[in-house]
Amino acid sequence: MDFALCLLIGVLPVIVLLFVLISLDSYKLVHPREVLRAIAMGSLVAGASYLIHLGVMEWTGLEARTLARYVAPVIEEIGKALLIIYLIRAHRLAFIVDAAIYGFAIGTGFAVVENVYYALALSGSHAGIWVVRGFGTAIMHGSTTAIVAIAARLMADRSTGATKDEDRGPRGAFAGSLVIFLPGLAFAIAVHSLFNHFLLNPVLSTAGALVALPPVVFAVFRRSESSLREWLDVGFDADTELLELIHSGELSSTRVGLYLESLKEHFDGVVVADMLCYLRLHVELALCAKGLLMMKENGFKVTLEPDVEARFAELKYLEKTIGLTGRLAMAPFLRSGAREVWQLSMLRQ
């Protein structure tokens, strides 16, 4: 087989599955630009892993087969998981839906670079090799990384509550902990190592990976959309109620209003007034973001309100006037978990 045909069989299946996954996202949470960026990051991990493999073989004298079965799965899955860790800590993965897409995209980038290398090295090899690499190895890379991201996001949600998310700090103390990444990472390494052992006929192993891994990712992906829809509905109602209270002047009778009133003992009255303005703007932008997602889900053309940029500018100005101490004082009633941070970031983009 020539280079072009080898490459086509080697990369087309995983790319097609990635596009299917993206098309299933009713809310279009991940911008195409971000998908390409995730693919590029996975490609860089593939290049770095190759260099590490060469160094390990030279340093230890391991045979290629031993490296592929026991060492490469650890190095490669940790490398891809590091990108997931970065994305979750940066509040880029707020839902299981976008975690699955980012994870599969990273794995796709890794698989593309790996199979380009093998297409150059093994050009002219038997078609069966490329069936295994394209429908087995490549899809395995995408699926295992998606599972790492899904498991981490799921553990973060269950640990802190799907509505509170990571309110333990601006970065989320629990999301920053490596504990949430270990189960998914251990599973990914085990699957990768098992696949590389080819305990069954390679074609049967490929068929097993194709039948088992993508359906798991797609099933979790579809179920998670209902959770996202519930968050949208509950959050939209809560934000609407709070905004109505602010505009009606009845906020003072609520817990939030009483708390703001108590802050007058520690902050100047002007600062407390700025806090109220900050809360109003924050809720308005959160409602705008949720409304945008709802419009996307229902197939409406999305257009932002013309004053959104001005609101963000005012929000940034108020952050400076309130100061760090003031923002910390607002933390008990100002939701700032991963989903809340993500929705404002999405609105800016």
Q: How many CB atoms lie within 10 A of CB 30?
A: 23
Higher-pLDDT residue of 38, 204: 38
Position 114 in a domain: yes
Position 232 in a domain: no
Percent of the chain with pLDDT over 70: 92
Whole-number pLDDT of residue 161: 52
Query: What radius of gyration, in Å, describes the C-alpha atoms of the chain?
Result: 24
Same domain, 287 and 146: no
Same domain, 129 and 264: no
- Whether the pLDDT of residue 38 is over 80: the answer is yes
Higher-pLDDT residue of 319, 36: 36
* One-letter-per-residue 3-state SS of the chain: CCHHHHHHHHHHHHHHHHHHHHHCCCCCCCCHHHHHHHHHHHHHHHHHHHHHHHHHHHHHCCCHHHHHHHHHHHHHHHHHHHHHHHHHHCCCCCCHHHHHHHHHHHHHHHHHHHHHHHHHHCCCCCHHHHHHHHHHHHHHHHHHHHHHHHHHHHHHHHHHCCCCCCCCCCCCHHHHCHHHHHHHHHHHHHHHHHHHHCCCCHHHHHHHHHHHHHHHHHHHHHHHHHHHHHHHHHHHHHHHHHHHHHHHCCHHHCHHHHHHHHHHHCCCHHHHHHHHHHHHHHHHHHHHHHHHHHHHHCCCCCCCCCCHHHHHHHHHHHHHHHHHHHHHHHCCCCCCCHHHHHHHHHHHC
Same domain, 257 and 215: no
Grade residue 1 by pLDDT with cuts at 50, 70 and 90.
low
Q: What is the pLDDT of residues 146-199, one digit of tens each?
A: 999 999 998 887 775 544 444 444 444 444 467 889 999 999 999 999 999 887
Q: What is the pLDDT of residues 224-270, one digit of tens each?
A: 877 787 778 778 888 888 888 888 877 777 877 888 888 887 888 88
Same domain, 209 and 262: no
Same domain, 112 and 170: yes
Position 239 in a domain: no
152 Cβ neighbours under 8 A, 6+ residues apart: 84, 85, 88, 93, 99, 180, 181, 184
Same domain, 213 and 264: no
Same domain, 183 and 123: yes
Q: What is the pLDDT of residues 273-294, one digit of tens each?
A: 898 898 889 888 888 888 888 8
Q: φ, ψ for residue 108 (rounded to 5)?
A: -65, -45
Position 196 in a domain: yes
Same domain, 295 and 213: no
Spatial contact of 123 and 4, defined as CB atoms under 8 Å apart: no
Which of these three, 172, 207, 224, is where a domain ends?
Answer: 224
Position 309 in a domain: yes
Average pLDDT over residues 114-128: 80
Position 233 in a domain: no
Model confidence pTM above 0.85: no
d(CA 211, CA 220): 15
Same domain, 181 and 303: no
Percent of the chain with pLDDT over 90: 35
Average pLDDT over residues 195-219: 84
Same domain, 219 and 254: no
Structural domain for 315, as ranges? 249-348
Same domain, 213 and 330: no
Whole-number pLDDT of residue 165: 42
Same domain, 198 and 278: no
Average pLDDT over residues 64-79: 95
To 10 degrees, what angle do helices 202-248 and 182-197 make? 160
Position 216 in a domain: yes
State which of 137-146, 303-312, 329-338 shows the largest mean pLDDT.
137-146
How many domains does one find in the chain?
2
Position 95 in a domain: yes
